[in-house]
Chain A
């Protein structure tokens, strides 16, 4: 062990340790508080604040998850044949279980459910029917557009500060009116744009006008050149820290718009806000896990129900 390592080992002095009886008292207090809290989680998830709240209201009507697409080259917005207007979170914490960190819908359940939805199409691809993406990152969130055109036309710009290089995605607008782009800034950060109601030309114009702020800025998001024709309408007052791990149950990969079920685990102080804002096309079911993270399941209403939260298992990393 060298001198630096020895100093690191002694960096923090002694911090008091409560006795086991103190831990038991905490557990009792937690159980009592949990009973009071049941029923309030749904309100928390919907009642997001500030800029994220703006996005929540708008993105709740969106039809595609954002973070599940990260790392793919073929984004596959969910098609919900029977969308509901209100998220239907469940609120019972999975008290008896260790928290799931790498969520995967049980393979058999995935198969059976998707077959039920599409009984004539039983061909399975060779690859695993799930995809897992891992993100742990602080993220800046900004809303770009013109005030008069909200809430129909806008872009959400995320700057992800995770130190990971990402492939760029050229600007693209889907039939649903949702568009996106991803830009590797080359400094260990990258931008993700999620747009609604904007044309491809407009998205490209915004991308061309992006001016990343220095990483030392209080909110290291972006500024916009005047050529963009839009302005930054709002930005989250602090970085959103999200630890999100998600996977998609999709049996027939030859139909990228086919039936899919998504599961995710979110943790971090703003996880519920972020999930509600960006990545929560209804219907959606949620459960608080024993470590406070949220287990989330969403997809076409014909495919999912709240009981499927019990079928989410720990996946391979």
Chain B
């Protein structure tokens, strides 16, 4: 018989550990911390709903991240259709305590989407290169290459800014 109390405790443990990493990674991927917060909550809600299956996954961090990304893209798409760009800029909230390193944030934002996502998964979500590859639906070699290129590009951008 399924022990729901134990299941919930296991979920809560994973949720407490994974949520900060996933939501911060998604904030970088999307560039919209508010959207990332909502989409990540939605993704963990789905994970909780089917925890008996998700708990058995070898890469549940990658799974919940991918669900959150899909949700965030839907939200952003709706958002962009409704709000003109100047209003989007006003609505988006990224106070200094949330984005303390504005120089690096802007540099990361200027990367190609795939590079930014790889950086987010590696350094914010804390996945290893195999996990990054799985979450991005690519090979480990390609993920490694993308990360390497992204780091090099970031160094260039930061150097140019000095």
Contacts and interface: CB of A to CB of B under 8 A. Distances in A.
A213 interface: no
Interface string A116-146: 0000000000000000001010100000000
B97 to A, nearest CB: 5
B76 A269 contact: yes
Nearest to A138: B113
A5 B46 contact: no
A20 B108 CA distance: 32
Contact of A30 (B44, B45, B53, B100): B45
A10 B27 CA distance: 12
Interface residues of B, number: 58
Contacts of B19: 17
A11 interface: yes
B73 interface: yes
B114 A11 contact: no
B67 A99 contact: yes
Interface in A1-36: 4-5, 7-18, 20, 22-24, 26-27, 30
Given A5-B123, A8-B124, A290-B46, 6 more contacts: A11-B123, A12-B99, A15-B20, A23-B45, A97-B53, A238-B80
A98 B53 contact: yes
Interface string B53-73: 110010000010011001101
Contacts of A8: 104, 108, 119, 123-124
Which of A7, A11, A16, A98 is packed against the most chain B CB atoms within 10 Å?
Answer: A11
A162 B48 CA distance: 33
A39 interface: no
B21 to A, nearest CB: 10
Contacts of B124: 8-9, 11-12
Interface in B109-131: 112-114, 119, 123-124
A245 B45 CA distance: 25
Nearest to A164: B142
Main secondary structure of the interface of A (DSSP, over half): loop
A287 interface: no
A7 B123 CA distance: 9
Contacts of B37: 15-16
Which of B24, B33, B49, B155 is packed against the most chain A CB atoms within 10 Å?
Answer: B49
Given A98-B54, A101-B137, A291-B66, A27 B71 contact: no
Interface of A: 4-5, 7-18, 20, 22-24, 26-27, 30, 96-99, 101, 134, 136, 138, 162-163, 238, 241, 243, 245, 267-270, 290-293, 317
Nearest to B67: A291
Contacts of B78: 269
Which of B105, B137, B154 is packed against the most chain A CB atoms within 10 Å?
Answer: B137
Interface string B78-102: 1010000000000000000111110
Contact of A268 (B15, B41, B70): B70
Contacts of B24: 11-12, 15
A14 B24 CA distance: 8
A99 B64 CA distance: 11
Nearest to A239: B113
Contacts of A30: 42, 45-46
A22 B137 contact: no
A98 B45 CA distance: 13
Contacts of A10: 100-101
A14 B155 CA distance: 25
A27 B51 CA distance: 12
Nearest to B72: A269
A294 to B, nearest CB: 11
Contacts of A136: 114, 136-137
Contact of A22 (B41, B98, B123): B41
Contact of A9 (B23, B123, B136): B123
B57 A98 contact: yes
B142 to A, nearest CB: 9
Contacts of B105: 11
